[in-house]
Amino acid sequence: MTFGEQPAYLRVAGDLRRKIVDGSLPPHTRLPSQARIREEYGVSDTVALEARKVLMAEGLVEGRSGSGTYVRERPVPRRIARSGFRPVGGATPFRQEQAESDMRGTWESSSEQAEADAAVAARLGIEPGERVMRTRYVFRESGRAMMLSTSWEPLALTGRTPVMLPEEGPLGGMGVVERMRAIDVIVDNVAEEVGARPGLADELLALGGVPGHVVIVVQRTYYASGRAVETADVVIPADRYRVAYHLPVR
C-alpha cells in the first residue's frame, strides 16, 4: 500500500456505502456475503469481514440472527428544539424541546434518593457522597423511545420541600424553573455541553438501537445565583434526531 492510500477494507466499505446511499442496495436488501465480497473485490476474508464491520458500526447494516446482514432503513432525522429554560405558556419542558407542533410526546419517570458520585458532585458543587434525588426518564414519541434523561438535584436544597420529587406533588412535571421558584430559588442561568459517543448497551436497548450506534449527549446544569440546583444527562439517538438551539440575542 502506498503512502496515503486507503486500507483495502475501507475502500470496500466505501464502495458498499455508496451503493447503499444511492439506492443500489435498498433498505432490507441482504448485504453481499463475505464470500461474495471477497470474490467481487479480490480481497481476503479478513478484509471482507472488516468492511462489513465498518458498515455495521456506521449503522448502515444490521445482523439478523441466522439470516445474514441486511441494509437498514435510514430514518429521516427529526429536530428536537431546545429554546432555553424559560417556561412558555405553562408547557412542560419536554414539549418545549420538540420542534414539530404535531409531535405527541409522553414520558415515564422514576425517582430515588442516591449518593452523588464524584462526577455528579463536581457538577453540582457538592461533596461526593452527599444525598441527591436521582430521576430517570424515558421520553417517547408515538410510543417509541426517543430520548433518555437522568437528573440529579441536591437534597440539601429540595429535601423536605413540596418539590423534592420532580414528577410528584402540586408542581410535578412543571420543570426545574417553576419548581425551584416555588421554594424561592430563582433559576437565572442554564449551561449545556453537547457531545457524542457510542451508546451504552442499556441505552441502546431502551432506545431501540444496535451496538455501535452513536448517541448525542446533552449535559445540562441549571444555576441560581451561581449555585447549581439541578444537573442532567440527556441521551438522544444521533441517527434519528438533530438538536436545534433557539437562543435569544441580548
pLDDT tens-digit readout, 136-165: 999 998 888 999 999 999 999 999 999 999
Q: pLDDT tens across 95-116, in order?
A: 445 434 455 678 899 999 999 9
Residue 134 DSSP SS3: strand
DSSP string, 63-98: EETTTEEEEPP-PPPEEEEE--SS--TT--HHHHT-
**Partners of 154 in the beta sheet?**
132
Asked if 210 and 47 count as a contact pair (C-beta separation under 8 A), the reply is: no
In sequence order, which residues have a C-beta less than 8 Å from that of residue 158 and are 6 or more positions away?
Answer: 133, 164, 183
Residue ranges in the chain modelled with pLDDT below 70:
1-4, 83-104, 249-250
Handedness of CA 180, 181, 183, 186 (dihedral sign): positive
Q: At what angle do helices 8-21 and 45-57 cross, to 10 degrees?
A: 50
Q: Report pTM.
A: 0.74
- Which domains are assigned to the chain? 8-71 (1.10.10.10), 78-245 (3.40.1410.10)
